[in-house]
Each structure stands twice: as structure tokens, then as C-alpha cells.
Amino acid sequence: MIAYVTVGADDMALAKRFYAAVLPALGYEFEESSEGLSYTLPEQPDQSVALPDFYVVPAFNGRPASAGNGTMIAFKARSQKEVRDLHAAGLAAGGFDEGQPGFRDAYGPRFYVAYLRDPQGNKIALYSDDPNEPGREG
């Protein structure tokens, strides 16, 4: 079970702007401290396992933060429209396009996804696989 995910950022104001445009719409609550930015999902009464937290912090070793090659963090959206909306919001908030919203042949017929890089270069996926929405075949 993943307990939390941490990404590094050198410019916390830019990181805050980017993640504030994306994560609250997915239900994440925000907290800022001297250590960085914390995003958590509220616990539900019938929840059996804790959902992973997401942290954005300066690199602990004091060196510049860097994005891992091959590293990606995926966030589940509620709909294809939300994927499109959040991709656009992330771009408007200083992110970079890494793949427009849509279906990908390599994934299942309902996997609708968009890819972004945050201002530091960390790769973020936003996806929906709602069986009530049209799939790749229409």
C-alpha cells in the first residue's frame, strides 16, 4: 500500500499555483507549512484503507529538485470532461502539455487520459475510466 508520494519543487509559489488548479477539484484538501505543500483526501467513515497523501517540497538535500525519468503520478478524475478541464487548468496554471486528453491505443477501451508536467517537470497523469461514458470505439 502506498502511504504517500512526494515530488520536489524549487519554486513553491509556482508549484502551489499549479497543484491548486488541479487537486482540489479531485477532492484533495490543502495545507501549507514551512516544509511545503500537503494534499490529502478526507477519510470516509466506511473507508478500510488510508488513501495516499501527496506532498510537494523542496529537495531535502538542499540541491535543486529534479523530475525522475520514467516517474509519473496518476490522479483519477470522475469523468472525461473533468480530465479535459483539469488538463486545461494545469496548463493555465504554469504546467506543460505532455499529452492531450484522449484515448490511447495501448490502454483499455475506456481509459481516457491526459498528461502534464508541473512547473518543475514532474509528470502528472489525469485519467477517467468511467464505464458509463463512451469508450474509444464510440
pLDDT digit string, tens, across residues 60-94: 999 999 998 889 999 999 999 999 999 999 999 99
Query: How many Cα atoms sit within 13 Å of 23 on the Cβ side?
Result: 24
The answer, yes or no, to whether residue 47 has pLDDT greater than 90, is no
Kindly write down the DSSP assignment for every residue of 78-134, as one continuous string: SSHHHHHHHHHHHHHTT-EEEEEEEE-TTS-TT-EEEEEE-TT--EEEEEE--TTS-
Read off the pLDDT band of 130 (50, 70, 90): very high
Q: Find the farthest-apart pair of alpha carbons in the chain and give their distance in angstroms, rounded.
A: 50
Task: List, as own/partner pairs, every contact residues 106-109 make where C-beta atoms lie below 8 angstroms and the sequence separation is at least 24, other chains included.
Answer: 109/135, 109/136, 109/137
Return the H-helix or E-strand segment holding 20. Answer: helix 12-22
The SS3 call for residue 13 is helix
Residue 86 has a pLDDT of 98
CA angle 72, 75, 79 (to 5 degrees): 135
Q: Which residue has the higher pLDDT, 47 or 63?
A: 63
Mean pLDDT on 122-126: 97
Mean pLDDT on 6-14: 96
Residue 2 has a pLDDT of 84
pLDDT in tens, 94-118: 999 999 999 998 899 999 999 999 9
* Prediction pTM value: 0.91
Residue 119 has a pLDDT of 97
Residue 105 has a pLDDT of 87
Question: Can you state the percent helix, strand and coil of the chain, rounding each to 5?
Answer: 20, 35, 50
